[in-house]
Amino acid sequence: MEMAIATVNQAQFCIKTRPFTTNFTAGSVSAVGFCLPSGSKSPAFAHSKTGRGFITLASVAPVEEKTQAKTAVIRIGTRGSPLALAQAYETRDKLIVSHPELAEEGSIQIVIIKTTGDKILSQPLADIGGKGLFTKEIDEALINSDIDIAVHSMKDVPTYLPENTILPCNLPREDVRDAFICLTAASVAELPAGSVVGTASLRRKSQLLNRYPSLKVLENFRGNVQTRLRKLDEGVVQATLLALAGLKRLNMTENVTSVLSIDDMLPAVAQGAIGIACRSDDEKMATFLASLNHEDTRLAISCERAFLEKLEGSCRTPIAGYARRDDDGNCIFKALVASPDGAQVLETSRRGPYEYDDMIKMGIDAGEELLSRAGPGFFNR
């Protein structure tokens, strides 16, 4: 197959490509190499809110040929959506700040990998295999040494990791809350009965219907942030809910109508967190990633994922969980499971030391409690 190495000049924002052949599976990967100065910012995804609609724009300068300057020290694997690329840029920038030698032209390359989840948009995730569909091809590229590190949205990462890989690094977590976006109402509570809210998340659907049973939910409301805003603008739905973290990373918070509190909408496990994986035998990359790890975030995510693993959660299961440090330095963990129709929501919470073993135990214990309370058949309603 053909791939393209693109060298980006941030000042002019021009992308330059040349084809070459690799042994990747057909149609799965393209590579983007960046020659950027230390401290440079990610490319802007322009956007504005005008009149009743939302506008999202992205443009690049004309393409020119350029020879690749050098072999990359680090090849970052990522999905190709604007949000995934923003997360890859954030990772690149943090690497350059921590390791100035990586600011040299061509030292860091970003490899765009199209996953099964990106290719199949016409069906709910649960019907085509679940969240692992956003990470599988990237994990394969990592295992095959076609990339050196993989940048993931942590809420897309299954509770198990592929053999020969580790995930030793979480970047500082963004805002975990969900954003309400609507052209006609200021909040969910102000939506008229019968209004249609678009979401691909059973977690959002179940909590929304539990509080507002008069609303309707359009499932399989999939696509990147820009696609969902376009569908909203076209009147496909009256409102939608999106992770505030993603909107912040895309500099698109001006599209937010209001922000839901944690009490109104408990976030998904690991929402707002970026995880970076490498091969388990790659000490060089593990050292690079150790300099980026935010330990408070890593511990919180570990607690939440222990809870999820205990429930054997999938895309067919409405599950939410959030661990944070309180004012006294302890961990507060809140969790819930819900029936898909929102008719019943079961909640629990834990408090304990903000230490790895204690937080893992809290997550597992909360999962065991909710499994016992839910009983057989709870998730099949």
Tokens representing residue 191 in the block: 């939506």
Please choose, from the candidates 297, 322, 289, 299, the residue with its C-alpha nearest in 3D space to the C-alpha of residue 177. Answer: 322
Quick check: helix, strand or coil at residue 319? strand
The edge-to-edge listing of strands for the beta sheet with 216-218 is 216-218, 196-198, 239-243, 178-182, 258-259
Residue whose C-alpha is closest to residue 151's, from 85, 224, 250: 85
Task: Return the residue matching tokens 């409405």.
Answer: 318
Give me the torsion for CA of 274, 280, 282, 284, rounded to 10°. Answer: 50
User: Bridge-partner residues for 166, per DSSP?
Assistant: 278
Measure the CA–CA gap between 199 and 211, rounded to whole angstroms.
Answer: 16
Can 127 be counted among the known catalytic residues? no
How far apart are the C-alpha atoms of 222 and 122, rounded to whole Å? 8
Q: Is the dihedral of CA 18, 24, 28, 32 positive or negative?
A: negative
Q: Which of 270, 283, 279, 274 is nearest to 333 (CA)?
A: 270
Options 139, 146, 148, 156, the catalytic residue: 156
Decide if 171 contacts 153 (C-beta within 8 A). no
Q: Is the four-CA dihedral 19, 24, 26, 27 of positive or negative sign?
A: negative
List Cβ neighbours of 259 (8 Å cut-off, separation of 6 or more).
177, 178, 179, 180, 244
Helix (H, G, I), strand (E, B) or coil at 132: helix
Residues 99 and 10: their CA atoms lie apart, in Å, by 20
Active site amino acids:
156
